Amino acid sequence: MNHRAAGSIDRIATLTGDTFNTNVIKGVGPIAVEFMSYGCGYCRAVEPFLQQVAETLEGKEQIFRVNIDADPELSAGFEVQGTPTFIMFSGGREVGRVEGIQPTLAGVMAVVTQPFNIQY
């Protein structure tokens, strides 16, 4: 289930245990993954800013989400303790992690780009 406003574009693909390896571990370029839950108020507050960041960074960095309620094994495998947790990957390896970010455009942009020194 996706909680987006009618007519809005979701720029962030939701990954599952079946698609995570292909898109992240074997993925190319900088990748940020938000481990989230639709019941998380913070996650809902971050969502519009994350959509803006995904649009701004299109072609420079990929951003995905994992719903921890739908894929608890995947989040447990990465030792996700709370939501939202952002894990950044490069070459299939974790290069950065931030738990509980500020729900602002600048806060989200800083978190997902910091390990990669991306200019936007």
Please state whether 59 falls in left (phi above 0), alpha (psi between -120 and 50) or beta. left
- In eight-state DSSP terms, residue 44 is H
Active site residues: 40, 43
| Residue count of the chain | 120
Q: What is the C-alpha to C-alpha distance for residues 44 and 103, in angstroms, rounded to an integer?
A: 9
Q: Which among 63, 46, 21 has a CA at the least distance from the CA of 99?
A: 46
